[in-house]
Amino acid sequence: MSIKIEKVSRRFGSFQALNEVDLEVGTGELIALLGPSGSGKTTLLRIIAGLDVQDSGRVFFHGEDTSSTHVRDRHVGFVFQHYALFDHMTIFDNVAFGLRVRKRNPRLSSSEISKKVKELLELVQLGHLEKRYPTQLSGGQRQRVALARALAVDPKVLLLDEPFGALDAKVRRELRRWLRHLHDDVKVTSVFVTHDQEEALEIADRVVVMRAGGIEQVGTPEEVYHAPATPFVYEFLGDVNQFDRDQVGYARPHEIHVELDATSHDSIPAKVEHVAARGAVVRVELSTEADAKLIEADLTHQRLQELALVKGQRVYARPTALRTFAAAAE
C-alpha cells in the first residue's frame, strides 16, 4: 500500500503546523518523519491516520483519495507514544479488540480470534503474559502489546507516533532493532515519527527531515547524513562544527584532523579545552585562538596517544571535508 500526500496544510489558530507538504511513501517502505518539536511531523502522521483533518490538500492510499474516509475505515494501525492500551482489559483482550469490533469483514469466530491473538503475542514475544493487565507490564512490553494490537487488524499502513519516546535508552535501542526486524518480516508500509536522529538513521529506509511545517529533505539515511541539502539538516543530523570563511562551512567532528603543526593554510590554531575518552572514539573540545569558538573533533584512541594532548595545549584543527551552502540559506 503506497501513500501519497499532496499539498497538505494544517493550521491550529495562528500556528501553521503544516504548509503544503508533498510526500510519497512506497509500498512496504519504513519511513521516518524526523524533526524538532513543532515541525509538524506528528500532525502529518495524524492526518495520514485520519485522527486529524487537513485544511487543504489530499491524502491518497494506493491512488485512492482518503480525504473523506473515516479513521475507522482507513485500516491503519496506530501506535501511540504513551501506548494508549485499554487498562481495564487483559493483554489478550487488548489485542483482540480490533478483531471483535470489526464489522465489515465476516466476523471471526472466537476460536479464530484466539488463534490470531496468540500468534501475534508470540510475534511480539509476550505469549506468556496474555492474562496480565497493562499496568502490570513494563513500558517496553506495553509498547509491544500496542504494536500487536495495531497489527491484529491487518492494517494496510502502520503509523507510529514517537513509539519509543517514553522508554529508557537501553530498551529503546532494543525495541528499535526489533521493530526493524519485525518490519522486514511483516512488510507493512510504515511511517514513524521521531525526534531522535539516531533512531531515524538506524532503522528507516528513507528519512523525511521536517522543519516548521515543511519538508527540508527526503532521502536514505546515507543521503541525509552525508549529503544534507540544507544547513538545518546538517545540524539536526549530528554534531557539527561551523567555519566562517567567505561562506559558512560545516564539518562533522570526525572530519576534523587535529595536528601539532600547521600543515596547510586551512589549519586553525586552537587550544585544547577538554578530552573525553567516551567509548570507541575520543571527543576533543578545542577553542580557536582567534575568537574562542568551540570546535569538536573525534579522534581514535591511537591518535590521542600519538598526540599526547593535555589541557591548554596549542594544536591545529584542520577540516578534512567542508560542506558549504549558499549564504542565504540560513
Cβ-defined contacts of 140-144 (< 8 Å, 24+): 140/167, 140/171, 140/174, 140/175, 142/83, 142/85, 143/79, 143/83, 143/167, 143/175, 144/175
Site string for other proteins, 24-63 (x = CB under 8 A): -------------------------xxx------------
Q: How far is the CB of 269 from other proteins (least distance, A)?
A: 55
Give the binding range for other proteins (CB under 8 A) out of 74-82, 213-221, 258-266, 285-293. 74-82
**Does position 71 bind other proteins by CB under 8 A?**
yes
Give the span between the Cα atoms of 192 and 206, in whole angstroms: 11
- Say whether residue 73 binds other proteins (CB under 8 A): yes
For other proteins, how many residues bind (rule: CB under 8 A)?
28
Smallest separation, CB 24 to other proteins (Å): 22
Considering the complex, what minimum distance in angstroms separates the CB of residue 114 from other proteins? 17
Q: Tell me if 156 sits within 8 A of 2, measured CB to CB.
A: no
Q: How far is 173 from 167, CA to CA, in rounded Å? A: 9
Least distance from C-beta 153 to other proteins, angstroms? 6
Print the binding letters for residues 129-168 with other proteins: x by CB under 8 A, - otherwise. Answer: -----------------x--xx-xx---------------
Q: Which residue, 188 or 256, has its beta carbon nearer to other proteins? A: 188
Question: Cell numbers at residue 178, please?
Answer: 526489533
CB 162 within 8 A of CB 193: yes
Selected binder of other proteins within 6, 86, 156, 283 (CB under 8 A): 86
Instruction: Round to whole Å and give the CA distance between 100 and 113.
Output: 8
Q: Residues with Cβ < 8 Å from 68, sequence gap 6 or more?
A: none
Write out the three cell numbers for 224.
541525509
Binding to other proteins, residues 89-128 (CB under 8 A): 97-98, 101-103
- Check binding of 77 to other proteins (CB under 8 A): yes
Identify which of 86, 82, 95, 83 has the alpha carbon closest to the alpha carbon of residue 130: 95
The residues binding other proteins (CB under 8 A) are: 49-51, 71-78, 80, 82, 84-88, 97-98, 101-103, 146, 149-150, 152-153
